[in-house]
Amino acid sequence: MAENNIELKGSNFTLFVLSLINNDLSSVQQALFDKVQQAPAFFSGAPIVINVSQCEQEIDFLGLAEVLKSQQFVLVGITGSQNEEIKQAARQAGLAVLKSGPLTPIDVPAPSANANPVVPAAETTHIETKVKTQIKVQHQQTPATQFHHGQLRSGQQIYAKDKNLVIIGSVSAGAEVIADGSIHVYGHLRGRAIAGAKGDSSARIFCRNLEAELISINGNYKLSETLQETCWQQAATVSLENDQLIISRLD
Amino acid sequence: MARIIVVTSGKGGVGKTTTSAAIGTGLALAGKKTVIVDFDIGLRNLDLIMGCERRVVYDFVNVINDEANLNQALIKDKRVEDLYILPASQTRDKDALTKEGVEKVLNDLAERFDYIVCDSPAGIEKGAMMALYFADEAIITSNPEVSSVRDSDRIIGMLSSKSRRAEQGLEPIVEHLLITRYSPKRVNSGDMLSVDDINDILAVKLLGVIPESQAVLKASNSGEPVILDKESDAGMAYQDAVDRLLGENRDFRFIQEEKKGLLSRIFGG
Those residues of chain A that have pLDDT short of 70 are 1-4, 100-143
A151 contacts in chain B (CB < 8 Å): 203
d(CA B265, CA B269): 6
Give the CB-side neighbour count of residue A108, counting CA atoms within 13 A: 3
SS3 content of chain A, % helix, strand, coil (to 5): 25, 30, 45
pLDDT in the model for residue A76: 85
Among chain B residues, the shortest Cα distance to A152 is held by B157
The minimal CB distance from A172 to the residues B158, B161, B201 is found for B201
A190 contacts in chain B (CB < 8 Å): 201
d(CA B136, CA A155): 22
Question: Is B150 in Cβ contact with A170 (below 8 Å)?
Answer: no
A148 contacts in chain B (CB < 8 Å): none
Please say if the pLDDT value at position B116 is more than 50: yes
Residue of B11, B154, B158 to mutate for A, most A C-beta atoms under 10 A: B154
Query: What are the backbone dihedrals phi and psi of residue B8, each rounded to the nearest 5 degrees, phi first?
Result: -140, 170
Among chain A residues, the shortest Cα distance to B146 is held by A173
Smallest Cα distance from B142 to chain A, Å: 15
The end-to-end CA distance of chain A, in Å, is: 73
Tell me the average pLDDT across B110-134: 97
DSSP string, A32-90: HHHHHHH-HHHHTT-EEEEE-TT--S---HHHHHHHHHHTT-EEEEEE----HHHHHHH
Among chain A residues, the shortest Cα distance to B159 is held by A153
Q: Is A233 helix (H, G, I), strand (E, B) or coil?
A: coil
Smallest Cα distance from A96 to chain B, Å: 54
β-sheet bridge partners, residue B55: none
pLDDT in the model for residue B31: 97
d(CA B21, CA B49): 7
A150 contacts in chain B (CB < 8 Å): 160
Query: Which pTM value belongs to this model?
Result: 0.69
Smallest Cα distance from B158 to chain A, Å: 9
d(CA A91, CA A84): 10
B240: CB partners within 8 A, 6+ apart: B208, B250, B252, B253
pLDDT in the model for residue A24: 82
Question: Is A154 in Cβ contact with B150 (below 8 Å)?
Answer: yes
Could you report the predicted ipTM of this complex, rounded to two decimals?
A: 0.78
The end-to-end CA distance of chain B, in Å, is: 53
Q: Is B99 helix (H, G, I), strand (E, B) or coil?
A: helix
Q: Is the dihedral of CA A20, A21, A27, A33 positive or negative?
A: negative
d(CA B23, CA B7): 9
Question: Is A156 in Cβ contact with B161 (below 8 Å)?
Answer: yes
| Rounded (10°) CA dihedral A117, A120, A123, A129 | 70
d(CA A127, CA B119): 73
The minimal CB distance from A156 to the residues B151, B157, B200 is found for B157
B172 contacts in chain A (CB < 8 Å): none
A192 in B contact zone (CB under 8 Å): no
Give strand ranges (E) for A117-219.
Answer: 145-149, 157-160, 164-168, 176-179, 183-189, 192-195, 205-210, 214-217
B124 contacts in chain A (CB < 8 Å): 155
B154 near B202, Cβ under 8 Å? no
B1 near B110, Cβ under 8 Å? yes
For chain B, what is the mean pLDDT? 94
pLDDT in the model for residue A88: 84
The minimal CB distance from B157 to the residues A153, A188, A190 is found for A153
- Chain B positions touching chain A (beta carbons under 8 Å): 124, 150-151, 153-154, 156-158, 160-161, 200-201, 203
pLDDT per residue as tens digits for the range B176-218: 999 999 999 999 999 999 999 999 999 999 999 999 999 999 9
Tell me the average pLDDT across B53-81: 95
d(CA B120, CA B200): 25
Q: Is B189 helix (H, G, I), strand (E, B) or coil?
A: coil
Smallest Cα distance from A245 to chain B, Å: 27
Pairing relation of β-strands A214-217 and A220-223? antiparallel
Please say if the pLDDT value at position B4 is more than 70: yes
Q: Is B137 helix (H, G, I), strand (E, B) or coil?
A: strand
β-sheet bridge partners, residue A245: A240
B251 near B263, Cβ under 8 Å? no
Query: What are the backbone dihedrals phi and psi of residue A133, each rounded to the nearest 5 degrees, phi first?
Result: -80, -20
Question: Is B201 in Cβ contact with A154 (below 8 Å)?
Answer: no
A148 in B contact zone (CB under 8 Å): no
Please say if the pLDDT value at position B109 is more than 50: yes
Question: Is A173 in Cβ contact with B203 (below 8 Å)?
Answer: no
